[in-house]
């Protein structure tokens, strides 16, 4: 007779980018090893690959390949809270005094920071609105990996790929950009005025981020704040 399989509890959270509830389970010992291996590698590509694997395994009905980075980060810290501990303890070296400082962060206090004025709806005129989508983690890595050779034109083309649809405000018409050829999309984009492209740029500049701050005091009594942002922070 084989060993019994232990059922894992299920939890729910609200996916930040969609506002929809999704179910997930804690990670297993096998999956914890995947995370530890990625942590030890200190390779951001390996870390992201591990995160996508864990998210795909632990969440129901979620495709990690299409998730914005802030969704991945938020999901990861919630899995960690249910799997290990809701308090992350770590040490930093103060940049001025060079002393070691022990800090702790409660995962339950982490939230998505929505920047003022952010919207995924770009008003072109009284008749049409562009609906934007967020860059996926793969697209962000593409930009980072090619930063030395990434021209403004290439970067702009990546941003253009994040236009999801054109919606008519005077009818029920919805034009999904994925239904059109690259040439048709480019011709449409090139017909827009500069105010529209500035609004598109603002969409990316104000995109939500998972950012949190941990206050601490140095041995000489100076109050400081350690700012944490991005996926690498969760492997400290």
- Name the pTM for this structure: 0.78
Mean pLDDT of the region 196-224: 88
pLDDT at 234 over 70: no
More confident residue, 134 or 143: 134
- Residues 70 and 209 sit within 8 Å (Cβ to Cβ): yes
Mean pLDDT of the region 144-158: 64
Number of helices followed by number of strands (H, E) in the chain? 7, 11
- Residues 128 and 166 sit within 8 Å (Cβ to Cβ): yes
- E strands of 115-183, at which residues? 121-123, 128-132, 163-168, 174-176
pLDDT at 55 over 90: yes
Q: First CA to last CA across the chain, in angstroms?
A: 42
Mean pLDDT of the region 182-196: 88
Percent pLDDT > 70 in the chain is 91
pLDDT single digits (tens) 26-48: 988 888 888 888 888 878 788 88
Residue the block writes with tokens 């449409």: 188
Mean pLDDT of the region 206-220: 87
pLDDT single digits (tens) 159-179: 778 899 999 999 889 999 989
More confident residue, 110 or 120: 120
Confidence (pLDDT) at 108: 78
Phi, psi of 51 (to 5 degrees): -60, -45
pLDDT at 198 over 80: yes
Average pLDDT value for the chain: 85
CB burial readout 196-210, b (16+ within 10 A) else e: beebbeebeeebbeb
């Amino acid at each position: 007779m084989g060993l019994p399989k232990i059922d894992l509890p299920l939890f729910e959270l609200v996916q930040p980018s969609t506002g929809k509830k999704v179910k997930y389970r804690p990670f297993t010992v096998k999956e914890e090893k995947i995370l530890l291996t990625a942590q030890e590698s200190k390779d951001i590509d390996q870390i992201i690959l591990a995160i996508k694997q864990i998210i795909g395994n632990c969440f129901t009905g979620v495709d990690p390949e299409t998730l914005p980075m802030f969704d991945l980060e938020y999901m990861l810290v919630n899995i960690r809270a249910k799997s290990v501990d809701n308090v992350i303890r770590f040490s930093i070296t103060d940049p001025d005094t060079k002393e070691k400082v022990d800090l702790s962060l409660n995962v339950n206090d982490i939230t998505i920071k929505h920047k003022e004025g952010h919207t995924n709806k770009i008003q072109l005129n009284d008749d049409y609105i562009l609906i934007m989508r967020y860059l996926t983690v793969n697209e962000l890595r593409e930009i980072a990996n090619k930063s030395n050779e990434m021209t403004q034109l290439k970067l702009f083309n990546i941003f253009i790929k994040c236009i999801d649809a054109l919606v008519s405000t005077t009818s029920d018409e919805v034009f999904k950009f994925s239904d059109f050829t690259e040439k048709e999309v480019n011709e449409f984009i090139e017909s827009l005025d500069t105010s529209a492209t500035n609004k598109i740029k603002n969409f990316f500049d104000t995109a939500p981020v998972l950012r949190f701050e941990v206050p601490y005091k140095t041995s000489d009594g100076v109050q400081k704040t350690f700012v944490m942002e991005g996926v690498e922070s969760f492997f400290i």
